[in-house]
Amino acid sequence: MESSALVHDLNYLEKENSNPEDGKELRKEILKKSGYSEKEIKIIEHVIKEEYIATRNETISDEAKALSDADTLFKVLPFTPILFASKYIEENKVDIKQLANKVTSEQNQLLEKGIYFYTNLAKEKYLDWVKINLNLWSNVNESLEDSDIAEVLSIAKELNIL
């Protein structure tokens, strides 16, 4: 399980704005060099595939649930959008609208299904942060539809502020 957590995001080294499948070969190479057997690598890959935010569901393994809760918690920490949104945008060559759409489309459906977090402790402790974070990203989407905001952003781009 811990190994899955350590290597689950290596796909971002292979391809910008990617999914776990894009990092499968790199993970396999690193895990083999680290002494993992083919069987262990398959288990790690299975956990990573199960916990992927865009496709996970109610029936994932306990290992994938643990990884999912840890990974998802990082996404909703109150400081994550402030500290890491610009880095994500830069590294993945997306704009703020694309990021806001990605966050809201992937994460709202998990909240609606009741599987944003799998453990009761995470639900009790952090679900309010989820709702605030998703509200923030929904407001970002809404604001970007405003013509005055679009004009301000356009001017900021022209001035190399953005």
> Mind listing the pLDDT tens digit for each residue in 63-108?
999 999 999 998 889 999 999 999 999 888 898 999 999 999 999 9
Question: What's the pTM value of the predicted model, to 2 decimals?
Answer: 0.82
Alpha-carbon distance of 67 to 122, in angstroms, equals 12
> Mind listing the pLDDT tens digit for each residue in 20-65?
999 999 999 999 999 999 999 999 999 999 999 989 999 999 999 9
Q: Break the chain into its structural domains and give their ranges.
A: 1-52, 65-162
Alpha-carbon distance of 123 to 3, in angstroms, equals 24
